[in-house]
Structure 1
């Protein structure tokens, strides 16, 4: 019962702010019915060459482009703003953006990339979405696995050219757009790198031992700061409270085990420290909206 109550509390924390954005949600939902997302080319995993660099033409980018960095390090200048790229960097480039990208040849970037355009359903003509309905150009995802799986699924769909894939691919692009937009509403603006560095010992420990139930006070003592300060720092860097972040990391590990291991759902629950399969399933569904069994069958 306690774990179920904790799951409800964490889910409420994760969704803090959604209610105050209901007006924006309604507006986006309305225009999404009038938008057609059209893939421009097959998406996929790109292993960028050691000597890779990218400078767009004078007129800038011709379409929308979603990037998700899987590994490697680099920088991307978008118009006048420079972003550091590493695992979890998710970018949405817009038509007309001027890009200058480079990476570390000793740690080259591996990315998922998806080019697409948005058309008006009534006229079938390309449009540029209003800024208030467009996700930010950059955010750092942690954990990254759920969005990585979505991009992987979209890439697999665009590899096929059957009639069903022609329907599914635009629908998935609409989901990707909505996912990024929702994240941007609930996540803070990107925190400076020094804050990520300051919090790294705690985040690394949580990711290394997702089965453990860390206490905020213990982690604050590790960093030599008071719990309230750590709580504020964690929310600023990750977008979640400390406990909500721990839940997210634990369930991201659960997703990986469900996709890539032969373990039963009960074994996954035990591996991640849940007292039973029911508390695990309840918390999984509260965060992802589906049961672990459905997730495994459909490989979401």
Structure 2
């Protein structure tokens, strides 16, 4: 299996981003991206998409993200044209909290690529013709900017890339409203709710109700996608915040536990020690 690196496509270390049209007349070899993610928009035609060892049919309007560790290839292309946007995952960190916690963003850019690495997961996003035309025009402008590299092109490309991310995320969420079968959108709703409210007292019933599913189903999809429970995920969010306080503040351990969403400092210490193998006090001393 081949391994692709971003510097094969661009030598600009200060701007690790590449965009191109891809015209495929022949099958491609199975490959993975070592140090970048790839956003793929199918502009015309059809092909078979191989992910790991599984195959699925893709066509005009399909959109999906492939993370670096996921092997994939195309075969049996028919009039197949795509746009490849290759980027470092950190580029998405410029997204504001309003986007990062949106259901569509979580599903398309976080959960689908994560799950696709482990399973043959077919993208749920398929753009209708009017929306694909808008995306096609946006892509054309980005490729023109990338080709000419005029002053400020990097800033403009980042801006347009994020516009594309927002547009696709919005449509993903809109497309899946009313769908009772899409586990990803239910999971995205629960994640967004937890990330918005993890400093508050949350119950499984509240999280499941927000996602529109039962507690049993909530536990099942967390196990399937994250190999953990909703409560463990909630603890992780709180403990990550506690680590930040331990590094960057002089707050007491009790104060940090409360500021991180734990109502009981003893329980906080037990959970912290279980996760990091040392007490919060010892963790702070090691810094």
TM class by smaller structure:
0.3 to 0.5
What TM-score do the two structures reach when normalised by structure 2? 0.43
What TM-score do the two structures reach when normalised by structure 1? 0.41
Higher relative contact order (CA 8 A, sep 6+): 1
Larger Rg: 2
